[in-house]
Amino acid sequence: MARFISPSLGVAFLLLPVAALAQGSIPLMECINGNCSIAVDNSKPFSAFWGYFDELYPWIVGTAAGIALLWALISGIQIIVAGDSTKMEAGKTQLLHAALGLLLILFSAIILHILNPTFFQ
């Protein structure tokens, strides 16, 4: 009897996402920005993934911007404390890379809109 229970549970577990997609939404374990479910459009591929991405995009951008600002701060300290010109040049290069990364993060929405005008709809 136990030999038949585990395959049955495995098949049932694999069919859970299909049941959630048939309902038109996927419930979340924790609410994101006040949304406790992700709407799924069965006619569009990967709509569940894009639903998650749309909800998490502000968090991802905020975290990446914080890391870029921290990197710029560390680079500035490295420039100030540098004893020779090679360390100062390395700090300037890191600062330039941090600034370019921050600009890329800030303009990511524009880049995504250029690639796909319906991205944020």
More confident residue, 19 or 107: 107
pLDDT at 98 over 70: yes
pLDDT at 16: 53
Give 33-69 pLDDT, tens digit per residue. 777 777 777 777 777 777 777 778 888 888 988 999 9
Residues 49 and 21: their CA atoms lie apart, in Å, by: 12
Residue 64 contacts by C-beta under 8 Å, 6 or more apart in sequence?
101, 105
Angle ∠(44,46,51) on CA atoms, nearest 5? 95
Residue 109 contacts by C-beta under 8 Å, 6 or more apart in sequence?
120
CB-side neighbour CA atoms (13 Å) of 83: 0
Looking at the chain, the whole-number percentage of residues with pLDDT higher than 70 is: 76
pLDDT at 3 over 90: no
Across the chain, what does the average pLDDT equal? Answer: 77
More confident residue, 115 or 93: 93
Evaluate whether 51 touches 33 at the Cβ level (below 8 Å). Answer: no
pLDDT at 66: 92
Please tell me what DSSP assigns to residue 116: -
pLDDT at 110: 84
pLDDT at 84: 87
Domain range annotation of the chain: 25-115
